[in-house]
Chain A
Amino acid sequence: MSEPLLVFFALAALAVIGAVSLILQKHPIHSALSLIVVMVALAGLFLLMGAEFVAAVQIIVYGGAIMVLFVFVIMLLNAGVEEHTSLSKMAGPPGLLLVAALAAFVAATIAKSGTGVQAAAQTGALSSTKGISEMVFKDFVYPFELTSFLILVAILGATVLAQREKS
């Protein structure tokens, strides 16, 4: 087994364990920490694929900013252990069945059409950061500018939502 394959399996196992732990943990803060494990493992996979810029953004924005926001809100709201009623426990088996069906459908689709993707040339050595910057500021410049507007609207929305109403 080659070295990239070993690294892939280690990181993939880490990601899947983190995702399962997110489901099994009862306390939201433990779930949040599990999700951080998943995100760091995925950043490692991005590095393995030669997407170093996306890996850095993944760690800084996802692992850093977004998850810190989640942990902050969990602490702010003093969230405790989640409670399950008998009815919500029943959602487990049908949900598992649904997910198994979804995964099987995706796997079948990949098995049918995977050869086309396999056949394409795998060039791991394209200078991705420079290429991404050129694409973002040339081909995708209007969507890029729109995202800044989106973030502005999100900031305004969050400020309006979270402020205390005047008494």
Chain B
Amino acid sequence: MVPTNYYIILSAILFGLGVFAFIFKRNIITIFMSIELMLNAVNLAFVAFSQALGKLDGQVFVLFVIVVAAAEAVVGLGIIILIARNRQTLNVERVDLLKL
């Protein structure tokens, strides 16, 4: 049996990498993908705790997280298409309409 701590540490590493990608990347699609990476890391922690405690609640929560992630991806990519159509760029630094 793999210790639960290993899963949680892997989850923390993946979440950290997701946060770093979110900060560092400049392409709006890649930034969106890093959000998906963070959601995946959280799912891993959910399933690890579900297995450790011998309860299935965590796995049910993972299903809900996946549903919300799918809805978020659909709406977010719609917004990205709108931004690309209006601004002709995917670089987040060029999307500065709200900047003073």
Contact = CB atoms under 8 A, between A and B. Distances in A.
Interface string A89-131: 0011001101110110011001000100110111110101001
Does more than half of chain B's interface fall in helix, strand or loop, or is it mixed? helix
Interface residues of A, number: 84
Interface string B53-65: 1101101101110
Does more than half of chain A's interface fall in helix, strand or loop, or is it mixed? helix
A19 B66 contact: no
Contacts of B6: 8, 12
22 contacts: A2-B1, A8-B2, A12-B6, A23-B17, A23-B24, A23-B25, A61-B70, A62-B36, A62-B69, A66-B73, A70-B33, A74-B29, A77-B81, A96-B20, A103-B12, A103-B13, A106-B8, A110-B9, A118-B5, A132-B59, A153-B71, A154-B75
Interface of A: 2, 4-5, 8, 12, 15-16, 19-20, 22-23, 28, 31-32, 35, 38-39, 42, 45-46, 48-51, 53-54, 57-58, 61-62, 65-66, 69-70, 73-74, 76-77, 79, 82-85, 87-88, 91-92, 95-96, 98-100, 102-103, 106-107, 110, 114, 117-118, 120-124, 126, 128, 131-132, 135-136, 139-140, 143, 147, 150-151, 153-155, 157-158, 161-162
